[in-house]
Amino acid sequence: MTTPHGDFDTPAFMAVGTKANVKGLLPQQVAATRTQVVLNNTYHLMLRPGEQIVEAAGGAHRFMGWPGPILTDSGGYQAYSMADINDVDDDGVTFKSIINGAKIRMTPERSIAVQNAIGADIIMAFDDCPPSMDPTVGPTNQTRIRIAAIRDGAKGIYDHAARLRIANERTVRWLERCKAAHARAEDQALFGIVQGGTDLEARAWSAERITSIDLPGYAIGGVAVGELQDDIASVTRHTAALLPEDKPRYLMGVGYEQDIVAAVLAGVDMFDCVLPTRNARNGQAFVREGTLRFRNARHERDFGPIEAGCGCAACDPAGHGWATPDGLPFSRAYIKHLFMASEMLGPILLTLHNLWHFQTLMLDIRQAIAEDDWPGFAQKWPRVAAAVPGGDGVV
Amino acid sequence: MTTPHGDFDTPAFMAVGTKANVKGLLPQQVAATRTQVVLNNTYHLMLRPGEQIVEAAGGAHRFMGWPGPILTDSGGYQAYSMADINDVDDDGVTFKSIINGAKIRMTPERSIAVQNAIGADIIMAFDDCPPSMDPTVGPTNQTRIRIAAIRDGAKGIYDHAARLRIANERTVRWLERCKAAHARAEDQALFGIVQGGTDLEARAWSAERITSIDLPGYAIGGVAVGELQDDIASVTRHTAALLPEDKPRYLMGVGYEQDIVAAVLAGVDMFDCVLPTRNARNGQAFVREGTLRFRNARHERDFGPIEAGCGCAACDPAGHGWATPDGLPFSRAYIKHLFMASEMLGPILLTLHNLWHFQTLMLDIRQAIAEDDWPGFAQKWPRVAAAVPGGDGVV
């Protein structure tokens, strides 16, 4: 992909930097994980510091000191994820500020104006993201969505099929308004977002209508918000196939390694997810064989690296220009100590490791594509390959 | 100074890394501030992860990935600073663990055994640090010390003059025990600590007795624990002059820039202080003109650096190998945003800046000594020079 702030390779994993920073890392440390694109969030930056501040700084790149590509999410997902404190109507969403409780009105026009001010290379349409499944009856891990649905249902208005249809229709109308309001089409690529929950017909309807609006790229939204992994994969496969071949396809908020591989096989080009960064802060490291939890007692006297052979700044300090005593890595025992002592450096080291891990995955995926060698990929990532839903081409 | 883990320049400012890390920084980032020595704390590491873990890792240098010199404080200061939950007697101190409330017994022998296990290049004697002034009557900002003194006084046993005398006598006996217990004199330099509060006669007595025990270096303890700045300077001047000229003199826990300059003029070679690192985490930056508070609204639209001309990684990213957009620094507005949003990166950037600031001070002090040019120093640091207590040679 080419942007005004440089190219990036696809399939790409973009690091989440919600509030104009990847938590705990200087931008040079983010780059050292081989991350090429950083996400910022419109809703959060609008509330704090305010888009005027980011604009006055010269845009997000200058504000956060990141010279590479930036993508901003539109705030549509926050309307969904905090549905219990928001009200959505045909014109937009009324948010309750998480900072001071003030009512904040967000419309397609407002979201685009804020994103024009923030100045990311890729900006996202403001969409109406519905619950993927009926939250009043089905299993869901989205408590706040369930609360909102029950609240709406108590008013006699929650009907999941109707909610999906209304969201789909709104998302199309809002996309038209986003495109019309977009004042920087020459240097900011606006992506439309396909919704439709786990209903494949609703997805098809949305994909057809959304892609009928000419835009530089399209995203699949409303995925990995509580569904089963097989549903994530089938919705992705179904929807990605309906998006133009010659434009980037972005699967928002996904996911685990096997979800990414499945989506790449379905033709997806771009990913973002909080997993490597958020889980790092909770003491979880991703390794080829699975995950490690650093509050676990088993690491107490383990003086080996997080993962043998890993090239991240924690596992291979020398590869990052730092000569530790005897060339030793930052050990599992040390990282466990840092977590037990609530030291910031624990999350920092695991964030460096986890982002490196996901970027290694993407590099190996690109190699598998370039060399058409998925068996070779499966040899390097046996656990991931075995877990890919419907991954017959991989294992 | 020469140590088994390399040389460092004096006068030296050592960074506080209590729990085997300088909070928020990878060791390479610590080194990039031109810090040459890191402090670890015996009490904290003994409780967590336990000195056995550090020893099994191959010592503190390997454990924390720091190849340079390390100094460990003995735990004596924690006996003082948490006096309200500790009990001191002629043989040692019974601590209440801050982690689980367990009773922990610390003696000179135990402190040295722990420090031998941790393996720092310079280790400190286990001392009995008394309140510098009578906490039951004088002004003090040491609430916990006051509580302890009032508690002891209620039992009819707090008498400040007696407390000073007992502490001084104990500190000498404990130093003899430390020296006798020290099992690694060949590669760990044990420093004795002079006590005596603000009583210059008590200081003289302690200095005479402590220095009569042959050791590679001597420290001045119990300073900057609530006294007025003039008292800090006069105690330092008085005591430093009583220490051997041919051995390093270490003023523990000091201090502001002007305190350091005053102490250097008194002949002190080594310093440590939490100010640059702790205050960074509270949003305070040190600059030549004074300090800046990053929660202050005045920084909201200030897109300049923390300090013009500063070479730290925040003010001069290019000097640290990172090409920000248009070569801009991390701005005051950005750092304020990070603090308002409770992002770790705010403390990290200010820690990098503040350590750079203190190391720049030390470099300029060394230059003033080498060139015998204190007027030149005063030109570079006018605010500091003007504030040096009794600094006639400087201003």
pLDDT in tens, B119-132: 999 999 999 998 88
User: Distance from CA of residue A233 to its chain's centroid?
Assistant: 16
Which of B227, B246, B273 is the last residue in one of the domains? B273
Residue B388 pLDDT > 60: yes
Which of A285 and B230 is assigned the larger pLDDT? A285
Is residue A395 domain-resident? no
Query: Which pLDDT does position B140 carry in this prediction?
Result: 66
Residue B371 pLDDT > 70: yes
Residue of A nearest to B343 (CA): A23
Is residue B119 domain-resident? yes
Give yes or no: residues B208 and B170 share one domain: yes
Which of A250, A273, A296 is the last residue in one of the domains? A273
Is residue A210 domain-resident? yes
**CA–CA separation, B188 and B19 (whole Å):** 19
Query: A221-235, B91-105, B140-154, B376-390: which has the minimum mean pLDDT?
Result: B140-154
Task: Give the nearest partner residue to A62 out of B53, B325, B338, using CB atoms.
Answer: B325
Which of B242, B273, B304 is the last residue in one of the domains? B273
Give yes or no: residues B143 and B208 share one domain: yes
Give yes or no: residues B211 and B348 share one domain: no
Confidence of residue B230 (pLDDT cuts 50, 70, 90): confident
Note whether A120 contacts B: Cβ–Cβ < 8 A.
no
Residues 328-357 (A) with a CB less than 8 A from some CB of B: 328, 330-331, 333-334, 336-338, 340-341, 343-345, 347-349
- Name the pTM for this structure: 0.97
Give yes or no: residues A292 and A345 share one domain: yes
Block means of pLDDT (10 residues each) for chain A, length 395 residues? 98 98 98 98 96 98 98 92 90 92 95 98 96 79 80 84 94 98 98 96 98 98 88 95 98 96 97 98 98 96 98 98 98 98 98 98 98 96 92 56
- Yes or no, beta carbons of B56 and A303 under 8 Å apart: yes
Note whether A25 contacts B: Cβ–Cβ < 8 A.
yes
Note whether B293 contacts A: Cβ–Cβ < 8 A.
no
The DSSP secondary-structure symbol of A329 reads P
- Yes or no, beta carbons of B62 and A328 under 8 Å apart: yes
Query: Which pLDDT does position B24 carry in this prediction?
Result: 98
Give yes or no: residues B187 and B311 share one domain: no
Rounded to a whole number, what is the distance in Å from the CA of A69 to chain B's nearest CA? 11
Give yes or no: residues B192 and B316 share one domain: no
Of residues A216, A141, A207, the one with CA closest to residue A178: A216
Query: Which pLDDT does position B390 carry in this prediction?
Result: 75
A vs B, Cβ pairs < 8 A, gives 158
- Cβ-based contacts of A340 with chain B (< 8 Å): 48-49
Task: Give the nearest partner residue to A56 out of B26, B301, B330, using CB atoms.
Answer: B301
Query: Which pLDDT does position A149 carry in this prediction?
Result: 84
Give yes or no: residues A268 and A332 share one domain: no
Is residue A164 domain-resident? yes
Residue B393 pLDDT > 70: no
Is residue A392 domain-resident? no
Give yes or no: residues A263 and A291 share one domain: no
Residues 6+ apart with CB under 8 A from A107: A91, A92, A93, A126, A177
Give yes or no: residues B127 and B177 share one domain: yes
Confidence of residue B157 (pLDDT cuts 50, 70, 90): confident
Is residue A372 domain-resident? yes
Structural domain that includes position B368: 280-387
Q: Are A376 and A360 in contact (CB under 8 A)?
A: no
Is residue B394 domain-resident? no
Give yes or no: residues B29 and B174 share one domain: yes
* Radius of gyration of chain B measured on its C-alpha atoms: 21
Residue B391 pLDDT > 80: no
| Residues of A identified as active-site | 73, 272
Confidence of residue B154 (pLDDT cuts 50, 70, 90): confident
Give yes or no: residues A202 and A290 share one domain: no
Secondary structure class of A217 (helix, strand, coil)? strand
Rounded to a whole number, what is the distance in Å from the CA of A247 to chain B's nearest CA? 28
Give yes or no: residues A212 and A309 share one domain: no
User: Distance from CA of residue B281 to its chain's centroid?
Assistant: 16
Q: Tell me the backbone φ, ψ of residue A245, rounded to 5 degrees.
A: -70, -30
Note whether B318 contacts A: Cβ–Cβ < 8 A.
no
Query: Which pLDDT does position B158 carry in this prediction?
Result: 87
Tell me, what CATH number does B174's domain have?
3.20.20.105
Note whether B27 contacts A: Cβ–Cβ < 8 A.
yes
> To the nearest whole number, what is the mean pLDDT of chain B?
95
Query: Which pLDDT does position B152 carry in this prediction?
Result: 82
Is residue B267 domain-resident? yes
Q: What is the total count of domains within chain B?
A: 2
| Residues of B identified as active-site | 73, 272
